[in-house]
Amino acid sequence: MEHFFVITNGSKDKGFKSAKKIKEYLEQKGCFCSIATDYGQDDTKGYSTDIGEIPKDTQCVIVLGGDGTILQAANDLAATRLPILGVNLGNLGFLADIEENRLIPAMDKLIANQFVMEERMLLEGSYQDESGKEIKQLALNDIVINKGHYYHLVCVKVYINGKLLDFYIADGVVISSPTGSTGYNLSAGGPVMLPTMEGIIITPICPHSLNNRSLVVSAKDEVVVEIGNVKEEKKDEGILIIDGMIQRTMYTGESISIQKAEKNTRFIKLNGANFLEIFHNKLGMGKDTT
């Protein structure tokens, strides 16, 4: 590889110090590198990337930040199919492949094409906004219906391929991809899937009934989540959140359809550690204490 594009979270990479370090090093090695100029620079533009700014000959996008930065980049770049290398400038960083202190060795591996490309499935959520217009949005991690502004329990009905699976009286429900299984889904007691697998995880959040458990369905299935009604005399409301970004408030009778997206996101893996090693290291699990 010799053509690169860098996206950096300016709140974590002060003065774009790490991004400039990457650009300088790559250019010293005879490569070409551009840095996104407007990512998160002010509140009006927000944290997103203008893909029109990416040179056409770009072979790899290097994303510096935490998981939120990488999630946003994956959504922005989905149509381009450009592979992403995540560099962790945050705390936990499940999506990042390398830490900031390993930048230079990582660049050497990229230049030498010493990496593995991983395909990660995306979810696509389809719903109507307040005006009735259909909105389709991708999610690398999860699509969540959380309880509304009044913090009462919400009734959430879940349908699989048009048939009612169950309804939950709960704080909400998480619909997760395998990549997102280590996020909100895991915190809510859901199972972990290897990120290269395909499937959709349905996990209720703090359900009122102890019988409610997570379920994994096929990536070929369509999952529909509908806001129900806990009390007949009052409409329920829930907050729709896609990859950590609030979309809108939904009310009784409104729903979102979720299925596997047509395109995948590609991640570059450099460090040789498999997912289970990263999982154990990040969460401190599976360590031999003998």
Task: Give the HSE-up count for residue 115: Cα atoms under 13 Å, Cβ half-sphere.
Answer: 23
Identify the three-state secondary structure at position 106. Answer: helix
Instruction: Determine whether 67 is an active site residue.
Output: yes
User: From CA 203, how far away is CA 170, in angstroms rounded?
Assistant: 11
Say which of 42, 50, 67, 221 is annotated catalytic: 67
Q: What is the number of residues in the chain?
A: 290
Place of tokens 């893996």: 269
Task: Say how far apart CA 124 and CA 259 lie, in whole Å.
Answer: 5
Strand 200-205 to strand 172-176: parallel, antiparallel, or no bridges (unpaired)?
Answer: antiparallel
What is the maximal distance between C-alpha atoms in the chain?
69
Cα dihedral 57, 59, 65, 71 in deg (nearest 10): 100
From the list 186, 180, 142, 179, the residue with the least C-alpha distance to 285 is: 186
Amino acid identity, position 228: G
Closest by CA position to 89, among listed 65, 57, 109, 113: 65
Backbone angle region of 172, left / alpha / beta, with phi > 0 → left and psi within -120 to 50 → alpha: left
Residues with catalytic function: 67
